[in-house]
Every structure is written in structure tokens, then in C-alpha cells.
């Protein structure tokens, strides 16, 4: 199996998507886009009305639309030990008119397909009646409110949902995989190295199983560019013991320097029969001039009280050449109305940033540092500054909390 590697912050990206979306949500912004949203949903409804028969050929067993009501079984395709299995059944009115709803003989079952075994069952035979206003969405069932399902055996599972909508029987199903495996990550310890430096890498192993991992870690690292191999280096860490849900960090240093360029790095871990691929950037020298570089940042101007601050900053390269910048100092500060400092962060360790031609790179994300709660209404000022070889560049942003 081949893994395309990301840096640790990129591995965290998926986990932060929900938080980022939440931070962007607020009442004013919702009111501004409601009109457009209604138009969009109306168009989608028309598509289903005219093209529904054709769409149904795709046989989406986890989603059905009947009489303007959408019934959906929402679940991820895969979970890793010891993840909590989460899924819900949602009902949405896809029209702008009021829809009546009567549900009876409701049941949810989960089957282990590998062992042909039922592992969970929920049955509710009484009927429930309600009405949904235009475009309203309601949860019919949420597994996390009924039972905590986690630490399953490694297998493929199927969720089966059955109920009556008035007199019509509705059936939904969705498969998911639950795996016990190792999470491997392999990445360059710096975004770029110089030609006179020996590049170093970090290799991490997270034991996502219920058993101790005790195995020899060995293999080879291959450095390639344009299909030409520049280095083939044997690696042997010996026997490694990792307890369940613990991780191990292993460091690797190349045996030779490389000329400038961007290389493919393949780590073949023969003892695990797996491979990981990452990139390595080599430059002749660091760019110590901030010319043709500029900062951009992303946040929202209005937050709900008691939400967490969201703020990211990017360094942008307007030149048509690849550049390597070393940030010598970084400052992030948040002030409340009367210049009260509620959060102050400084990083004085050098941080290398590789900027591709006319590209950008993230240099700061408050979520990766600390959660900053906005627990008072009013106005806040965000100050962000980077120092590159004595050249200071900053951004100031004013936000409101309601």
C-alpha cells in the first residue's frame, strides 16, 4: 500500500474542517445568504422533479426522495480503531411548502458482514407525526444518542434502516469499514534544505490497534528526480515496541547532500510491506529579501460569543521562481476593546517557508497553537507580524463578537 505523505499540520486538517466551518457561521452572514440558498435549493428541487427518474438509476441506497421529502442515512465510509461510530438519519423538506410526516415501525440494525452477525438493533414500533416547514431539516435518529459503538473488530459493516412513511415502506442502507491499522507519516523536517546541508526526515508510527506493535522497522529510502535515482539508502531501526494508541517518532538523516531542485522521496518499509512518498526541496541559498512577498490572512469579521477565534495567515510569492524564506520571529496578539491583551504569542525559533513560483504557504494557524475563546461581546483587534532578516511585515484585523 502506498501512502502519500503530509506534514503533521496537514494530517490535522481533516479534523479541523468542522471547527473552521463552525467559526465562520454567524447570524448576520446566514441572513445575508438565506435568499440565495432558497433559490439554490429550489433549483435542486426542480432538477429532481424533472430528472429524478434518471438520477435514480445510480441507486443511492442511503438516500431517497419521496413526495418532496429527502430521507438520508449519513455516515462516513471508514473508521479507525478506537473511533466512535457516528451516523444519523435525516429528513429534509426539499420544497418551500409545508409537508406532513408520519413515521412508524422504525428499526435500525448493524451487521458485521465478515462474520454475518448482527451487532446492534434498535426498534421503535409506535408512530410519530409532525410537519416540516419549507426546507426544514430534522434528525430522525442519531446513533450517538442511543448507544456508544466503538472499538469494533476489523471488518466491513452494514447499517440497515427500515420504516414506514405513511403506508410506504422505506429502506436505507450504508456500508462502512472499521479497521485496525498503523498510521504512518513520513515528511521532511524542514520545508527546504540548502545544498550544503544533509536533509533530515521524520517518520512517525501511530498504533491504531488494540494490540502492542512489536516489529522490526527496516527498508530503504530512494531519492528521485525526473525518473533518475540520486540516492538509495538502507534504513534499519531494529525492533520497535509501540503500545495501543501510542506513537513513535524516528529520525532519518540522508548520507549525502543534493543539488538544488525538487525531489521525490520514497520510503519503502520492507518489514511492513508499505511505501510512503513525500517531497524534498533543495535550494542554493535562502532568499533574505522580502521583495515580491506579501502576507494575507483569513478570518471572519463577526463571531458569535463563546466561539473560538479562527485565524490563518499565508505568505505569498509573486515571483515566477521558487524561493526559500526563513522567518526569524513571529508575533500574534489579540486585544479586547480597551487594549486589554487577552492572548499573546511569540515564536523566536527560525521557521523555514518554501514558496513555489507564484504560490503561497501557510505560516500561522491559531488552532494549531491554542484555542482562544471569545467570551465577551464587543470589538477585538488581531495583530500578526513576521520578521524576515530584520524586515518586519504585519497585518491588523478588527473583528466583532455578538
CA angle 182, 186, 187 (to 5 degrees): 155
Which DSSP symbol is given to 55? H
> Which residues does the chain have with pLDDT short of 70?
1-59
Q: What pLDDT does residue 28 have? A: 43
pLDDT tens column, 306-355: 999 999 999 999 999 999 999 999 999 999 987 899 999 999 999 999 99
Number of DSSP helices (H) and strands (E) in the chain, helices first: 4, 31
pLDDT tens column, 183-221: 999 999 999 999 999 999 999 999 999 999 999 999 999
The answer to whether the CB of 380 falls within 8 A of the CB of 366 is no
Return the beta strands (E) in 243-311 as ranges. 247-253, 261-269, 274-283, 293-298, 302-303, 307-308
What is the DSSP code string of 128-194?
A: EEEEE-TT-EEEEEEHHHH---BSPPSEEEEEEEEEEETTEEEEEEEEEEEE-EEEEEEEESSS-EE
Is the domain spanning 293-401 CATH 2.60.40.420? The answer is no
The answer to whether the CB of 288 falls within 8 A of the CB of 14 is no
Q: Is the peptide bond before 330 cis (omega within 30 degrees of 0)?
A: no
Q: How far apart are CA 25 and CA 3, in angstroms?
A: 34
CATH 2.60.40.2360 domain locations along the chain: 60-179, 293-401
Q: Is the pTM of this model over 0.75?
A: no
The residues near 162 (Cβ < 8 Å, ≥ 6 apart) are: 105, 106, 107, 169, 170, 171, 172
CATH 2.60.40.10 domain locations along the chain: 181-283
Q: What pLDDT does residue 59 have? A: 61
Written out in words, the top-level CATH class of the domain with range 181-283 is mainly beta
CATH number for the segment(s) 60-179: 2.60.40.2360
Amino acid at each position: 500500500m502506498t501512502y502519500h505523505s503530509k506534514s503533521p499540520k496537514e494530517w490535522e486538517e481533516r479534523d479541523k474542517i468542522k471547527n473552521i466551518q463552525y467559526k465562520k457561521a454567524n447570524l448576520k452572514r446566514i441572513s445575508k445568504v438565506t435568499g440565495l440558498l432558497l433559490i439554490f435549493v429550489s433549483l435542486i428541487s426542480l432538477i429532481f422533479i424533472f430528472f429524478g427518474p434518471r438520477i435514480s438509476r445510480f441507486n443511492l441506497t442511503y438516500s431517497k426522495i419521496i413526495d418532496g421529502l429527502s430521507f438520508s442515512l449519513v455516515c462516513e465510509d471508514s473508521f479507525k480503531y478506537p473511533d466512535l461510530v457516528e451516523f444519523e438519519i435525516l429528513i429534509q423538506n426539499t420544497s418551500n411548502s409545508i409537508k406532513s410526516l408520519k413515521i412508524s415501525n422504525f428499526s435500525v440494525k448493524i451487521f458485521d458482514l465478515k462474520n454475518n452477525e448482527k451487532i446492534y438493533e434498535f426498534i421503535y414500533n409506535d408512530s410519530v407525526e409532525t410537519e416540516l416547514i419549507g426546507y426544514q431539516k430534522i434528525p430522525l435518529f442519531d446513533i450517538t444518542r442511543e448507544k456508544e459503538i466503538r472499538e469494533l473488530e476489523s471488518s466491513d459493516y452494514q447499517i440497515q434502516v427500515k420504516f414506514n412513511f405513511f403506508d410506504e415502506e422505506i429502506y436505507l442502507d450504508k456500508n462502512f469499514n472499521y479497521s485496525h491499522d498503523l498510521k504512518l507519516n513520513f515528511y521532511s523536517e524542514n520545508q527546504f534544505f540548502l545544498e550544503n546541508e544533509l536533509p533530515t526526515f521524520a517518520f512517525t508510527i501511530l498504533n491504531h490497534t488494540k494490540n502492542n506493535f512489536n516489529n522490526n522497522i527496516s527498508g530503504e529510502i530512494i531519492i528521485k528526480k525526473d525518473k533518475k535515482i540520486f540516492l538509495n539508502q538502507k534504513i534499519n531501526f531494529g525492533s520497535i515496541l509501540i503500545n495501543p494508541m501510542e506513537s513513535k517518532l524516528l529520525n532519518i538523516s540522508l548520507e549525502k547532500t543534493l543539488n538544488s531542485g525538487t525531489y521525490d522521496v520514497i520510503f519503502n518499509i520492507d518489514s511492513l510491506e508499505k511505501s510512503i512518498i513525500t517531497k524534498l526541496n533543495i535550494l542554493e541559498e535562502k532568499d533574505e529579501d522580502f521583495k515580491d512577498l506579501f502576507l494575507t490572512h483569513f478570518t471572519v469579521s463577526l463571531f458569535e460569543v463563546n466561539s473560538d477565534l479562527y485565524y490563518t495567515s499565508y505568505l505569498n510569492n509573486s515571483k515566477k521562481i521558487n524561493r526559500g524564506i526563513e522567518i526569524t520571529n513571529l508575533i500574534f496578539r489579540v486585544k479586547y476593546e480597551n487594549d486589554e491583551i487577552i492572548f499573546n504569542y511569540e515564536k523566536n525559533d527560525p521557521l523555514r517557508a518554501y514558496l513555489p513560483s507564484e504560490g503561497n504557504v501557510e505560516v500561522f494557524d491559531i488552532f494549531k497553537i491554542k484555542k482562544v475563546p471569545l467570551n465577551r461581546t464587543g470589538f477585538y483587534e488581531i495583530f500578526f507580524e513576521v520578521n524576515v532578516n530584520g524586515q518586519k511585515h504585519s497585518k491588523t484585523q478588527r473583528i466583532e463578537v455578538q
